[in-house]
A and B are shown apart, each in its own frame.
Chain A
Amino acid sequence: MLQFEFMRLAFLASGLAALLSGVTGWFLVLRRQSFAGHALSHIGFAGAAASLWAGLPPLAGLMLTAGLGGTVMGTSGARQEQHDVAIGLTLAFSMGAGMLFLHLLNGPARRATALLFGNVMGIDTPTLICLTVTVLAGLAGMALLARPLLFLSLQPELAEARGVPVRLISGLFLGLTGLATAACAEVTGVLLVFTLMIGPGATALRLGLTPLAGLAAAAGLAVAEAWGGLALAWQSDAPVSFCIALLSLLVFGLTTLRMKRKNGDVQNTQF
């Protein structure tokens, strides 16, 4: 299958998106912000649809709105219960706005389908270059933020007392998550961003590794699931997004079973 240019580009793009999605996903699951990650993809959908309507590349709108949305969400400092309501309303409105722009665009339905469910086999070289820059910048940002973000995620009150800039770090993290969401949406579509973002992160956390090893495992699993999904889709003719989602669920389920047998239930495991 690698003899075809579109498949080589698809493997490169999905591998890159998976790297950043795995790393940000590990932190999203640790911080119990999976819902926020899900909402960012929907906010990105509205931006992508607006970009298409304005005659711009959809990836630009996706990145801009998801990145900005994440930064605003993170720096708002709202409590979790306030967050959930605000995120739920924003998510619903974003989907509605996205559908409005697609309606105004009056284009073929495949454009909406590509945004919602991904079209990794249709990625071209300029998009791949844009993805590469985004992913490298995102990974550099995550590497810089990792220590204070980990502290803030595990012990928020203590971090605040020690002078960690809580809102800044939270805002930067969700901003980077927005970028990861945009990259991931190119592969899985906005509706299935969870497959590459939450599945590998949750699986890696189940393994009880050190943070560095956990982040590497999350990134590695995400790449393996993305490439495995592509290969499976090639062989079975099933949609790529479905194959990646299936692998993500299987790996998480099997890991959970194995760790339960090994350690028993770890108290308060909420993911």
Chain B
Amino acid sequence: MSAPPAISCHGLETGPAGRSVLRNVCFDIPPGTVTAVLGPNGAGKTTLFRTLLGLIRPARGTLALFGQPVKTGRRDVGYLPQTRTPAGPTLSGRTHILAALQGSRTWGLPDPRGPAELDRLLQELGVSSLADRPFGSLSGGERQKLLLVQALLGQPRLLILDEPLAGLDPAHMQDVAVLAGKLAREKGLTVLMSTHDINPLADVTDQVLYLAGGEARFGTSDDVLTSPVLSTLYGCPVEVFRTPSGQVFVSAGRT
């Protein structure tokens, strides 16, 4: 019997506070692949992620992770929320990671010692030297890498990364994108990451999920990022340009 899809979503209608932000969303994501979730602001990327995490109950449809129903607190799902101004900027990166590790499982006083897995992951991702610096003194890219370590603790099978490239310079964007691809290849992780720009992820993405106008299209980049598909999704003429080097640009307004 073949393994169930990492994410199986059929006829999904969901949104915060009873609103329908997404309607009739259907896709099956195979395990061990990288999926870029694309779309404009307010298209429902974070809403989809919060539904996958069990924080929003869908109004309709079925949704399963590795054949199991979604619920909060699943140990096999790692999550990197959108970066905001960090609380506790004077506390070290290690403190931030340990807080997440200890705070979701146990009560009592914080323990400054971490598991061996933490040091191994910090070394593996090349961020050991960042972990003991104040979190507020790190650049956006450095913070993202440390938080990625946090998301990887506990050996998740699915990694949900919400706008991990937002605010990063091109070099750090490339670093994070390469890292995501490496995690999927070497650890067999299924990676789902939202972004406004597919280009930094072009080399590592197996498929894209494009959200717009409350609907979704799923498939390879070549299948989805086309003028007819995006024009239908946006409900207006949309042009898709591809450069000889493979970069994709989307432009609205031309007829």
Contact = CB atoms under 8 A, between A and B. Distances in A.
B134 A151 contact: no
Contact of A154 (B53, B54, B91, B134): B91
B88 A161 contact: no
Interface stretch (B98-106, B171-179, B188-196, B215-223): B98-106
Given A147-B109, A268-B89, A211 B95 contact: yes
Interface string A131-161: 0000000000001111111111111011111
A121 to B, nearest CB: 34
Interface size class of B (residues with CB under 8 A): 20 to 34
Nearest to A206: B90
Contacts of A164: 103-104
B87 A150 contact: no
A31 B91 CA distance: 13
Interface string B165-205: 00000000000000000000000000000000000000000
Nearest to A163: B73
A208 B90 contact: yes
B55 A159 contact: no
Size bracket, chain A contacts: 35 or more
A148 to B, nearest CB: 5
A267 B100 contact: no
B137 A163 contact: no
Contacts of A154: 86-88, 91, 95-96, 99-100
Interface string B130-168: 000010110000000000000000000000000000000
A146 B95 contact: no
B99 A163 contact: no
Nearest to A207: B90
B79 interface: yes
A235 interface: no
17 contacts: A145-B107, A147-B103, A153-B88, A154-B86, A154-B87, A154-B91, A154-B100, A157-B81, A159-B100, A161-B53, A162-B73, A163-B73, A214-B91, A266-B89, A268-B85, A268-B136, A269-B90
Interface of B: 50, 53-55, 72-73, 79, 81-82, 85-92, 95-96, 99-100, 102-104, 106-112, 134, 136-137
Interface of A: 30-32, 143-155, 157-164, 205-208, 210-215, 259, 263, 266-270
